[in-house]
């Protein structure tokens, strides 16, 4: 054991060894997400990274530990992009990893050497708050969006989903990092075990209280919907034909809405009357409205859109939602004139898609006025979009997706898991329909409804989806966990700046003191 400890100390003494340890420590939390889905690992996986940053000899080294750990984390949670972006994913991970550099400095300043009990207690609030600020900044759609937020790893844990209904995914991230910080303090600073244990107790009691006493949605009946997953089919025409065949299997089963995946139709229905008539006939055969997704040019509008389109027995109903938040490099290239070379090193978009301008609710006629809130693919990762749809009156959230490019990776399972979180946050059931899997449905508490459709097959499935009434605390109060973190960090920065000013003035006055005294004495003699 002593030899192993000595080897570890030598490894960390080397800049290269320490750098490799930082990357590995940052990558570790990725195992909490699907497909491994080791959700419990999230509560301990950050501790090695925290201990590493705490042990840095200088703030510069702590910033480097934060940067390398952040790069490792981003690379691990986005590793499935490697076949598409190749070396560019390494550049993106390195750039986004920089967001964790200030967080590494924050960890060191609060926990380095032998901090007081008061400073350790502050770390239990400030370290999670700093992490939340990193998550907030990187969630900007132009920086890649909120894929891999730490709180999203808890999508299958009922008590965590109850917390999400109160404070969203942000509150879950806050609790997870607080637990990791308390564990790091217990390991490295035994003298501070009281605030560390108190922090763990607060997290445990708060989670139990939420599970026992937090409000829950009121049942409001059910709606029967069908999901159509064609599977891996070559060519748009064959995919549409396969979708039609699977949809007809819903006939006579009382289905009120059938949902197809993203890019399930390759022609705008207003420019293709034959396709519109074909889908309308399919709707009549099944006795349900169809929610398809068109990837094509709209009549009278420039560029290509990805649009959710509702089709009824008489044809397109006129309800259309154009995707607003596009996947960087996948659907557009930021600063294409500068970064257009990315198309030569990976599968980046050869043409930018166009953006929609507003969210839309779609009334499903055959379901007695059911109000559906559509999202397209990547948008299910954004908690603000599903929250807005719930505020607007959506009764069912639907995400249409396609992850066929990443069929054999962790991406399909992780993407589908986001629907559970969005459902729990909003108290609105959510269906996640894809072309090739994973497709799934979750109830208003984030609970699974029926069986998932995996990536190994094409299939159609029917779900009796429970509806709910009421407004969740998160929908009502919004991102209060984020605002609380901002206030905590603001107070810390103001206090730190105040101490710095006082110390600097004191040192300046001390340096001038002897000269001032000598000057006064000289003036007295001259007088």
Reported as a single tens digit per residue, the pLDDT across 490-519 is 999 998 887 656 666 666 666 655 554 444
Q: How far apart are CA 218 and CA 468, in angstroms?
A: 5
Please give the structure tokens belonging to residue 387.
């929250």
pLDDT for residue 337 is more than 70: no
pLDDT for residue 105 is more than 80: yes
pLDDT for residue 378 is more than 80: yes
pLDDT, residue 413, reads 95
pLDDT category of residue 292 using cuts at 50, 70 and 90: very high
Q: Stretch 174-191: mean pLDDT, rounded?
A: 94
Contact 349, 329 (CB under 8 A): yes
Q: Quick one: which of 170, 187, 229 has its CA closest to 478?
A: 170
Helices 383-392 and 411-426, axial angle in degrees (round to 10)? 40
pLDDT, residue 366, reads 55
pLDDT, residue 170, reads 98
**CB within 8 A of 123, min separation 6: which ones?**
107, 110, 111, 115, 181, 185
Q: Quick one: which of 294, 267, 253, 248 has its CA closest to 400?
A: 294
The tens digit of pLDDT for each residue in 49-62 reads 999 999 999 999 99
**CB within 8 A of 23, min separation 6: which ones?**
68, 69, 71, 72, 75
- Identify the residue with better confidence: 327 or 96: 96
Lowest mean pLDDT among 52-56, 352-356, 425-429: 352-356
pLDDT category of residue 525 using cuts at 50, 70 and 90: very low
pLDDT, residue 88, reads 81
- Count of other CB atoms within 10 angstroms of residue 57: 9
Give the DSSP H/E element, type plus range, for residue 398. strand 396-401
Please give the structure tokens belonging to residue 140.
């900007």
Q: Stretch 382-399: mean pLDDT, rounded?
A: 97
Q: Quick one: which of 275, 318, 278, 277 has its CA closest to 295?
A: 275
pLDDT category of residue 527 using cuts at 50, 70 and 90: very low
- Identify the residue with better confidence: 160 or 337: 160
pLDDT for residue 116 is more than 80: yes
pLDDT for residue 95 is more than 60: yes
Contact 126, 98 (CB under 8 A): no
pLDDT, residue 4, reads 40
| Phi, then psi, of 203 in degrees rounded to 5 | -60, -45
User: What does the DSSP assignment read for 169-182?
Assistant: HHHHHHHHHHHHHH
pLDDT, residue 517, reads 41
pLDDT, residue 5, reads 43
pLDDT category of residue 520 using cuts at 50, 70 and 90: very low
pLDDT, residue 184, reads 96
pLDDT for residue 395 is more than 50: yes
- Count of other CB atoms within 10 angstroms of residue 79: 16
pLDDT for residue 205 is more than 80: yes
Q: Stretch 416-439: mean pLDDT, rounded?
A: 97
Q: Stretch 110-116: mean pLDDT, rounded?
A: 92
pTM value is: 0.91
Q: How far apart are CA 404 and CA 400, in angstroms?
A: 13
Q: Stretch 447-451: mean pLDDT, rounded?
A: 96
Contact 489, 259 (CB under 8 A): no
Residue 272 CA to chain centroid, in angstroms?
37
pLDDT, residue 327, reads 83
Please give the structure tokens belonging to residue 197.
């244990």
Which residues on neighbouring strands pair with residue 321, listed in sequence order? 308
pLDDT category of residue 405 using cuts at 50, 70 and 90: confident
Please give the structure tokens belonging to residue 147.
């894929």
pLDDT for residue 3 is more than 70: no
The tens digit of pLDDT for each residue in 213-268 reads 999 999 999 999 999 999 998 888 999 999 999 999 999 999 999 999 999 998 88
pLDDT, residue 523, reads 43
pLDDT > 90: percent of the chain: 71
Show the 3-state SS of 312-346.
ECCEEEEEEEECCCCCECCCECCCHHHHCCHHHHC
pLDDT, residue 253, reads 94
Contact 259, 398 (CB under 8 A): yes
Residue 112 carries which DSSP code? S
pLDDT, residue 12, reads 67
The tens digit of pLDDT for each residue in 68-78 reads 999 999 999 99
Q: How far apart are CA 350 and CA 366, in angstroms?
A: 39
Mean pLDDT of the chain: 89
pLDDT for residue 304 is more than 90: no
**CB within 8 A of 163, min separation 6: which ones?**
171, 172, 175, 207, 210, 214
pLDDT for residue 97 is more than 90: yes
Contact 151, 172 (CB under 8 A): yes
pLDDT, residue 2, reads 46
- Highest-confidence segment of 3-12, 197-206, 379-388: 379-388
Residue 233 CA to chain centroid, in angstroms?
30
pLDDT, residue 421, reads 98
Report the DSSP pairing between strands 370-376 and 362-364: antiparallel
pLDDT for residue 296 is more than 60: yes
pLDDT, residue 181, reads 97
Please give the structure tokens belonging to residue 470.
């009421």
- Highest-confidence segment of 80-89, 91-100, 510-519: 91-100
Residue 44 carries which DSSP code? T
Please give the structure tokens belonging to residue 19.
């750098």
| Phi, then psi, of 237 in degrees rounded to 5 | -60, -45
End-to-end CA distance of the chain: 76
| Residue where the block lists tokens 């390759």 | 266
pLDDT for residue 339 is more than 70: no
pLDDT category of residue 108 using cuts at 50, 70 and 90: very high
pLDDT, residue 354, reads 83
> Burial of 266 by CB count in 10 Å (0-12 exposed, 13-18 middle, 19+ buried)?
middle
| Residue where the block lists tokens 């969005």 | 422
pLDDT, residue 411, reads 93
Q: SS3 of 8, please?
A: helix
Give, in degrees to the nearest 5, the angle at Cα 419 between 81 and 25.
45
CA distance readout (Å), 214 to 106, 164, 423, 443: 33, 11, 16, 17
């Amino acid at each position: 054991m002593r030899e192993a400890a000595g080897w570890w100390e030598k490894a960390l003494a080397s800049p290269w060894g320490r750098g490799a340890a930082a990357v590995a420590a940052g990558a570790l939390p990725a195992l909490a997400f699907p497909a491994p889905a080791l959700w419990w690992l999230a509560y301990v996986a950050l501790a090695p990274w925290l201990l590493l940053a705490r042990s840095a000899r200088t703030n510069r080294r702590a910033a480097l530990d934060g940067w390398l750990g952040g790069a490792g984390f981003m690379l691990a949670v986005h590793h499935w992009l490697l076949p598409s972006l190749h070396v560019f994913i390494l550049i993106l991970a390195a750039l986004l990893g920089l967001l964790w550099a200030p967080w590494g400095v924050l960890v060191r300043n609060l926990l380095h050497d032998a901090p007081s009990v008061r400073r350790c207690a502050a770390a239990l609030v400030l370290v999670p708050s700093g992490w939340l600020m990193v998550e907030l900044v990187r969630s900007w759609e132009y920086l890649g969006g909120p894929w891999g937020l730490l709180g999203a790893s808890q999508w299958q844990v009922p008590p965590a989903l109850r917390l999400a209904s109160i404070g969203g995914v942000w509150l879950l991230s806050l609790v997870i990092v607080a637990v990791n910080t308390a564990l790091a303090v217990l390991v490295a600073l035994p003298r501070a075990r009281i605030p560390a244990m108190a922090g763990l107790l607060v997290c445990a009691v708060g989670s139990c209280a939420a599970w026992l006493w937090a409000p829950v949605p009121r049942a409001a009946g059910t709606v029967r919907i069908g999901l159509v997953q064609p599977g891996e089919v070559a060519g748009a025409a064959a995919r549409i034909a396969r979708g039609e065949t699977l949809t007809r299997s819903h006939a006579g089963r009382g289905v009120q809405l059938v949902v197809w995946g993203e890019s399930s139709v390759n022609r705008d229905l207003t420019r293709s009357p034959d396709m519109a008539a074909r889908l309308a006939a399919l709707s009549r055969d099944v006795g349900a409205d169809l929610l398809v997704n068109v990837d094509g040019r709209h009549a009278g509008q420039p560029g290509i859109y990805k649009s959710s389109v509702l089709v009824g027995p008489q044809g397109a109903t006129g309800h259309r939602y154009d995707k607003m938040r596009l996947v960087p490099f996948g659907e557009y290239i930021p600063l294409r004139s500068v970064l257009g070379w990315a198309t030569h090193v990976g599968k980046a978009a050869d043409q930018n898609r166009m953006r929609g301008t507003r969210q839309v609710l779609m009334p499903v006629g055959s379901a007695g006025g059911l109000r559906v809130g559509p999202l397209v693919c990547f948008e299910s990762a954004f908690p603000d979009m599903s929250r807005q749809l719930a505020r607007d009156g959506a009764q069912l959230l639907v995400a249409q997706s396609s992850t066929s490019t990443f069929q054999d990776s962790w991406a399909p399972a992780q993407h589908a898991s986001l629907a559970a979180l969005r459902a729990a946050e909003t108290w609105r059931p959510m269906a996640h329909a894809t072309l090739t899997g994973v497709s799934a449905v979750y109830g208003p508490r984030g609970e699974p409804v029926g069986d998932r459709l995996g990536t190994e097959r094409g299939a159609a499935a029917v779900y009796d989806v429970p509806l709910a009434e009421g407004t969740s605390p998160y929908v009502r109060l919004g991102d209060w966990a984020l605002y609380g973190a901002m206030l905590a960090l603001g107070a810390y920065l103001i206090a730190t700046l105040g101490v710095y000013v006082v110390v600097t003035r004191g040192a300046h006055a001390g340096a001038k003191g002897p000269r001032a005294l000598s000057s006064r004495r000289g003036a007295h003699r001259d007088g």
